[in-house]
């Protein structure tokens, strides 16, 4: 006959059976998986809920309005133009480019569509295409100051300062008080070594815009020579 001490008996009783341990582990894994699934599902439900109840921005409302207009009036160049502008403000540049081009297919004389395409090309660093658009505009409308200004900036960036000066002077012919143009003109003259003209343009810039930092620095730099 085998006798067990009281402590040994308690240990024998406390030990779980192997099959029970496996079942317990399996149930624990199932519970963890169910908990994860519940969390994920709850997150998806909350995301969809807030996506639906979150108020739309004014641009989104305008986008939907002009999208509906374009669908109902596909040959309306102005509708395509307005939708393109909204896309552009939302940084949907490919969509904007597409709509501007559709507008121009309907009405090739839309100066604003040509100009905004030029701006998009600049943002995409397609400089030759941008130049082409701005030049088309000034050929049609020699008093389009914004296009002359963009051409001047591009020419200056290309270090073609003589062409830049021609462009900036065309802007000032139309908008003589435009401070930024006087500053850019001063920078172009300075690059060509025409210091007196540069100083004059920097001074004129500060008359119209006394806080212009670049004009102040340029003037200080040239007067110190």
Token pair belonging to 95? 């969509």
Q: Give the per-residue pLDDT at 52.
A: 60
Taking the domain 148-225, which CATH number applies? 1.25.40.10
Each residue's pLDDT, cut to its tens digit, for the chain (225 residues) gives 444 444 444 444 455 555 666 667 777 777 878 888 878 887 777 777 665 656 778 999 999 999 999 999 999 999 999 999 999 999 999 999 999 999 999 999 999 999 999 999 999 999 999 999 999 999 999 999 999 999 999 999 999 999 999 999 999 999 999 999 999 999 999 999 999 999 999 999 999 999 999 999 999 999 998
- Can you give the residue ranges of every domain in the chain? 57-141, 148-225
Q: Any idea what the Cα angle at residue 123 is, between residues 119 and 129, rounded to 5°?
A: 60
Q: What is the largest CA-CA distance in the chain?
A: 122
Q: Give the per-residue pLDDT at 44.
A: 78
For residue 124, what are the contacts with CB-CB under 8 A and spacing of at least 6? 93
Long-range contacts formed by 203-209: CB under 8 A, 24+ apart? 205/179, 205/180, 208/177, 208/178, 208/179, 208/182, 209/179, 209/180, 209/183
Token pair belonging to 184? 């850019």
d(C-alpha 34, C-alpha 90), whole Å: 41
User: What is the assigned CATH class of domain 57-141?
Assistant: mainly alpha
């Amino acid at each position: 006959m085998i006798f067990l001490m009281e402590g040994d008996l308690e240990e024998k009783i406390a030990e779980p059976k192997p099959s029970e341990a496996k079942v317990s582990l399996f149930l624990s894994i199932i519970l963890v998986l169910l908990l994860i699934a519940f969390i994920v599902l709850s997150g998806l439900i909350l995301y969809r809920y807030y996506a639906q109840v979150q108020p739309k921005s004014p641009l989104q409302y305008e986008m939907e309005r002009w999208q509906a207009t374009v669908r109902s009036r596909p040959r309306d160049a102005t509708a395509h133009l307005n939708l393109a502008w909204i896309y552009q403000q939302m940084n949907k540049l490919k969509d904007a480019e597409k709509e501007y081009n559709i507008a121009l297919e309907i009405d090739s004389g839309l100066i604003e569509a040509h100009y905004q395409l030029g701006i998009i090309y600049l943002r995409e660093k397609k400089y030759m295409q941008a130049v082409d658009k701005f030049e088309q505009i000034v050929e049609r409308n020699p008093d389009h100051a914004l296009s002359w200004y963009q051409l001047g900036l591009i020419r200056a960036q290309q270090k073609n300062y003589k062409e830049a000066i021609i462009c900036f002077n065309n802007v000032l012919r139309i908008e003589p008080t435009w401070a930024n143009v006087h500053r850019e003109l001063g920078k172009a003259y300075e690059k060509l070594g025409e210091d007196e003209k540069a100083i004059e343009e920097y001074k004129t810039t500060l008359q119209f815009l006394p806080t212009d930092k670049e004009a102040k620095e340029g003037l200080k730099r040239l007067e110190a020579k």
